[in-house]
Amino acid sequence: MGRTDSIDTKVPGPVSRPLYRMDQTFEVNAAAGPDFDGPFPAVPVTPTKEFFGHPVASRIGVAASLVLNSAWGETFGRLGFDLLTYKTIRRRRKLAHPAPNWLYPDQTSVSKSRDVPMTLGLALPGDPVSATAVGSIGMPSVAPEVWREDIGKTRQALREGQVLIVSVVGTAVEGITPEAFVEDFCALAAEAVEAGAQVVEINLSCPNVASSEGELYLDTPFASRVAGAVRARIGTVPLLVKIGAIEDDAQMAILLRALAPVVDGVSMINAPSRVLLNRDGTHAFGETRKTAGMMGGVNFEIGLDCVRRAVAIIDREALPLRILAVGGVTSPERIAAYFEAGAYAVMGASALAWDPYLAIRSKQLHPEF
């Protein structure tokens, strides 16, 4: 799929120290910015494309993962990622789960099945870029007065041909009514647009929160209710919905049909929920965090299958939807595979902490992306 002889050897490969400090909390990583001091190679000039009406240099980006704030967004923008998704915000401050937040299972224990627990590895994998990892961060958010200003800074730092997406989630406080929960999504989406979001993404798919904020995409009536209400609130601003894996074609078709009248695109897949155990059988993230999100690696196989099936449904039923591919985006070849499967855009996540030059190498091989 890739033309490896076209890669500029001056562009570095994966880094030896990840941009995200795995021994530190989410809050420390956000405050300190990426653990990265370059170099910043020249980004290839590529033909202009369209992304929901916005001119872009490519449809390669960062999912709601590592753009923790403007410092992270500016870094990935300089590295040629043109679709930058500001990590999920709330209308109230919420801390991340305590460290550890990012662990690697023994790669021989990795399984696509959610019914098979994985076992914590004894050491970092030899190739962490392509390895499967497990994350337990939750959906933290700084206070609105912080993210309002910071989203503006992120927007200002964009380069020509780049777009800012902001991921939002309603907060399910104890006793909240369905009506108030929907309104929280709506108000937050409107505030994100006011702060500088060019595209809004509703996150309905977090795999590691133990509340009704979790895998909401599995409740089609409520998912379409939230999406419809947000659409009415933000008008013509492009709207995306982030979902997890769906194994059943009929269920996927029902969801896509319900979303098609009110959203522009669907981001798939968010990290599938999995169990990670210590060698002694206890839960690696602690007994209060028995499930976590499987990241990178094997997610490519799950994500590619979901994208292919979703695109087939959209084509067959002529639904006005675009699919943004997420999951196991670890190489230019995998980016190419997603585009060949019919994805409108491809968004990297955890692997970018180890390979921040992925967009540059992909653009060298495939300027058409």
For residue 349, what is the domain's CATH number? 3.20.20.70
What does the pLDDT read at residue 205? Answer: 84
Task: Give how far the C-alpha of residue 361 lies from the chain's centroid of Cα atoms, to the nearest Å.
Answer: 20
**Backbone torsions φ then ψ of 351, nearest 5 degrees:** -65, -25
What does the pLDDT read at residue 233? Answer: 98
Which residues, at least 6 apart from 219, have a Cβ–Cβ distance to it below 8 Å?
none
Terminal CA-CA length for the chain = 13
Contact status, residue 112 vs residue 301, Cβ threshold 8 Å? yes
Range of the domain at 68: 4-365
Task: State the Cα angle at 300 between 227 and 104, rounded to 5°.
Answer: 105
What does the pLDDT read at residue 335? Answer: 98
The whole-angstrom separation of Cα 366 and Cα 369 is 6
What does the pLDDT read at residue 173? Answer: 85
Facing residues of 133 across strands? 295
What does the pLDDT read at residue 53? Answer: 97
Pairing of strands 132-135, 291-296: antiparallel
pTM for the model stands at: 0.95
The whole-angstrom separation of Cα 198 and Cα 194 is 9
Q: Which residue numbers in the chain have pLDDT < 50?
A: 1-6, 208-211
Q: H-type helices in the chain, by residue range?
A: 26-32, 70-78, 144-157, 178-195, 220-234, 249-259, 299-317, 332-340, 358-365
Taking residue 32's Cβ as centre, other Cβ atoms within 10 Å add up to 12
Domain count, the chain: 1
